[in-house]
Amino acid sequence: MEVTRLSIDGALEIVPKVFRDDRGWFKETYARSRYLPAGIDADFVQDNLSMSDRFVLRGLHGAPRMGKLVQVLSGSAYDVIVDVRTASPTFMRWHAVMLRANEHHQLYIPAGCVHGFLALEDETLLYYKQSSEYDPAAELGIAWNDPDLAIEWPLGGVAPILSAKDASNPTLRALRLAQGESFGL
């Protein structure tokens, strides 16, 4: 597999080896023995699958102790990581990757970062592994359009389709002010 370190500390883009023949293809989507030397030491405990239509924007979400390994199984997505770890040298930096099912790329999002994606096609399937089980009390939600982050979503003037929860997420600045000293990721 090929591993590329991204501009956010600990974030990786992974291209697994795909074996093709006249029947189709095969790929290994995760093997601890191969991902550990790349820097992924997460103990994955929960897998999730979401289906989204074009222009659905999910995020930005995360949890202090939750790392994720993300890939698109069908369709394509503009996937964004934001570092919200206050002690990180890449704090408040964002990095985006295009994930297309036919390219087989994966994205590793380290614990303490938030994640969101914009579906670029109808019926985009996003599959991800998590290093901690979902806990609503531990979840961070940050506004997808936070002006301090200035994420460049490829919306082309179209308003994204958001859940009520995502539409009401606070900015990172407001979240940090509300949580005060307890925010320290």
Residue pLDDT, tens place only, 61-87: 998 889 999 999 999 999 999 999 989
Angle at 30 between CA 27 and CA 35, to 5 degrees: 120
- Asked if 134 is an active-site residue, the reply is no
pLDDT above 60: residue 4: yes
pLDDT above 80: residue 157: yes
pLDDT above 60: residue 19: yes
CB atoms within 10 A of CB 28: 12
In the Cβ-directed half-sphere of 86, how many Cα atoms lie within 13 Å? 12
pLDDT at residue 178 in the model = 84
Q: What is the band of 51 on the pLDDT scale with cuts at 50, 70, 90? A: very high
Q: Which position has the token pair 């590793």?
A: 108
Residue in 61, 95, 105, 115 annotated catalytic: 61
Q: For residues 123 and 51, is the Cβ–Cβ distance under 8 A?
A: yes
pLDDT digits (tens, 9 = 90+) for 98-109: 999 999 999 999
The helix (run of H) or strand (run of E) holding residue 49 is strand 46-52
- Asked if 61 is an active-site residue, the reply is yes
Residue in 35, 78, 108, 128 annotated catalytic: 128
Domain boundaries in the chain? 2-183
Q: Tell me the C-alpha distance between 78 and 27, whole Å.
A: 22
What would the CATH number be for the domain defined by 2-183?
2.60.120.10
Q: What is the band of 183 on the pLDDT scale with cuts at 50, 70, 90? A: low
Q: For residues 11 and 95, is the Cβ–Cβ distance under 8 A?
A: yes
pLDDT at residue 137 in the model = 87
Q: What is the band of 93 on the pLDDT scale with cuts at 50, 70, 90? A: very high
pLDDT above 60: residue 182: no
Query: What's the length of the chain?
Result: 185
Q: What is the band of 158 on the pLDDT scale with cuts at 50, 70, 90? A: very high
